[in-house]
Structure 1
């Protein structure tokens, strides 16, 4: 054991064991602190409908459209999803950009240096067939959580009118101008304004939380119909901000608003002669829920329009909720259902009171079913959260927008606070 050769062999063996142990420790430590893999998830979305009146009727030609959307979760890259679902001809987008807003500079202005081109398979231009859609390449930009992002589209001259696929009640100002101004930070040449979104279906982000997205399939209450324009006061906006703030270790899911004013469970807007009210909830489930990026949970917030507008029975409304929940479960989604909120004194037209105790009894039957059912993963009791303790058939006065069915900004915030977060946050056991 004392020979030089034996000593060299022993030292080599000790060195090998030491190096191997060091590598094992380093490997174990690196596994313990390895970051979660990034994944694409939806941060914002809009439910889209066929064209109606105004700018949507003939679409756009040699015009720039600058739209602002409010994110839920942030990410290290972005991509946009565009739709020509209801167009009657191919739609060409000549240029698309993403940027951060700079409202203090001027209406429709963008933060200098933040404008980035969105490409499609490496090309700045993309043509979307009638009924089709397109998704951009990843855009290198830091997308902030619970903040606005500007998406600007330039539509070149079109050979003929092509109705725009759109969302009528954006509650955000959209800026429109003639010519290509997609890459310009200034909004000075975008003088025409609307409160609609055009062609834009979603904004996805590359996100480290790995929590996917939650889609809210709803009506005008989810759409934020009576909330303040350009203030991002929909209940889903409040909920997204709450999740970003309160989710442990920053593991917040994206919140995707698929609210559509006038939406019903099975009847279309076209049945009333109003295309922009869109397809019924069951029909748009495939596009607006299953078609979303990273979707894991759906919140069903439909039914009040079936009560007062369709004057449907409680049994029919319940059966449709059950069927939509069944489709969601078969698709591997968690299902959360919302009770229907109070609406006493709501007028369907000036001086025409739509509310009756008989119709409200239908709402109460539906709510009773939702509260006692074991068919869902959870419920959100908006009825209990919003009703006036002195008259449970009415909204609390301080949360009433004035039309007695749509909550105001404070009411939307109360709705978000009423959501049990444990219903929406991933169960670690489910991920193993």
Structure 2
């Protein structure tokens, strides 16, 4: 969750006496679920007049299986007032679904919020239509918008033995380079890999495009949002942290990469990672460190040899410091063996920075499932 930039906000008139339908891809199958609605960045109370869930006909379409539609309630009531800065759970509803199902979450509003909470990088289409259309199977006149709003989580009831892993990071985790409505971000493909191997595991994507560890970007810095986006989420047993390219690249791009500043940012990145791990371990959550992928070919950051040396220094520390409970070597999965400072061509979106869908598959395959199975951080 973050504050959408002005050009990513939902237009005020589209909130007024309108229904918003958002399609999300579930990593866990089950029979009961609940939805978490977010007003985390709101400055005034959010008034949700009604909500529902249903199985979507397909990603990228507003139509639902009408027989699966379930009204959501909050303390038994259809509507709810969510205070500024808060997030509220719906009451659980019975809805049989398989792992990998597409769920439509519909919300009805009478007016726009004073400040929106959302996620611009949805890589999924949402739909808006006039009136209270929560239970309607078809929305033939719906407008399409490629963002999510006010929707923090869908939680599936599962046995205590089933854990959840949060993938947290920047645009590479958020899915820049994946296909719209294709559900082929690397966390999506990790969830599919769990399914192929017969392991039930929730997978949560907490990537924010432009995100940094140490300073706010398009959203809050990762160190500040780690508690809300990882520790406070239900059933979390593991986190995979991949962050740093925007910290290092941004410093170089801004011309702040003197010798002293370069040393300081490396020290600060390492300290921040240690702090995340300490906080996670205190709650029994294991942390997998993700190495920073190559970006020497990026026209946006235009890194030089010093910038590349700093990336390598962070990666060597992630691999060898012993701070983490395991390592996902995304660098090794994505780099060109002949030019290891660059992405392999077929795993490059084309900008020298973000992976392609093939690159995301390689990333999902690089996650060490053995470390996820074996690690159990002491509370």
CA distance 1:341–1:405, change in 2 (3 Å): same
Which consecutive unaligned segments of at least 5 residues does structure 2 have? 253-261
- What does residue range 279-428 of structure 1 map to in structure 2 within 5 Å? 279-311=220-252, 313-348=265-300, 354-425=302-373
Secondary structure of the 2:223 match is coil
* 1:117 matched residue in structure 2: 71
Q: Which of 172, 178, 186 is the matching residue for 1:221?
A: 172
**Does 1:154 pair with 2:105?**
no
- Does the aligned pair in 2 maintain the 1:268–1:280 contact within 8 Å? yes
Identify the residue that residue 35 of structure 1 maps to in structure 2.
none
User: Match of 1:64?
Assistant: 19
Cα deviation, residue 177, structure 1: 1.6
Q: Match of 1:97?
A: 52
SS at match of 2:246: helix
Distance in 2 (alpha carbons) for counterparts of 1:282 and 1:49:
14
RMSD value over aligned CA atoms? 1.9
Answer whether contact 2:166 2:236 (CA < 8 A) is retained. yes
Q: Which residue of 2 aligns with 1:182?
A: 134
For residue 424 of structure 1, report the CA deviation from its aligned partner: 1.6
TM-score (norm 2): 0.92
Residues 154-186 of structure 1 show CA distances to partners (whole Å, capped at 9, x for unaligned) of: 11235xx52210001100001112221111110
Aligned-pair distance for 1:209?
6.6
Contact 2:286 2:377 in 1 (8 A): no
Counterpart for residue 39 of structure 1: none
Residues 53-81 of structure 1: per-residue CA shift (max 9 Å, x gap)? 14347582222111111111111101000
Indicate the residue corresponding to 1:198 in structure 2. Answer: 149
What is aligned with 1:52? 5
After TM superposition, the structure 1 stretch with the greater mean CA deviation from structure 2, 253-262 or 181-190, is 181-190
Deviations 1:243-283 (A, max 9, x none): 12214xxx4221111001011112012xxxxxxx2100011
Q: Which residue number in structure 2 is paired with residue 145 of structure 1?
A: 99
CA–CA distance in structure 2, aligned partners of residues 176 and 246 of structure 1: 38
Contact preservation (8 Å) 1:78, 1:143:
no
Is the 8 Å Cα contact of residues 326 and 368 (structure 2) preserved in structure 1?
Answer: no
Checking the alignment, whether the CA contact within 8 Å between 1:110 and 1:187 is kept in structure 2 is no
Helix, strand or coil: the match of 2:213? coil
- Offset from partner CA, 1:359-412 (integer Å, 9 cap, x none): 111100001111111121111101111100110011111111001111111110
Give the SS at the match of 1:289: helix
Equivalent-residue separation in structure 2 for 1:327 and 1:405 (angstroms): 30
Q: 1:226 to 1:430 in 2, by over 3 A?
A: closer
Residues in 1 aligned to 2:101 and 2:338: alpha-carbon distance in whole angstroms: 37
TM-score, normalised to structure 1's length?
Answer: 0.81
Matched position secondary structure for 1:341: coil
- The CA distance in 2 between the partners of 1:314 and 1:267, in whole Å, is 14
Q: Which runs of 5+ in 1 are unaligned?
A: 1-47, 270-276
Aligned residues: 365
Distance 1:310 1:266 in 2: 11
Contact 1:110 1:185 in 2 (8 A): yes
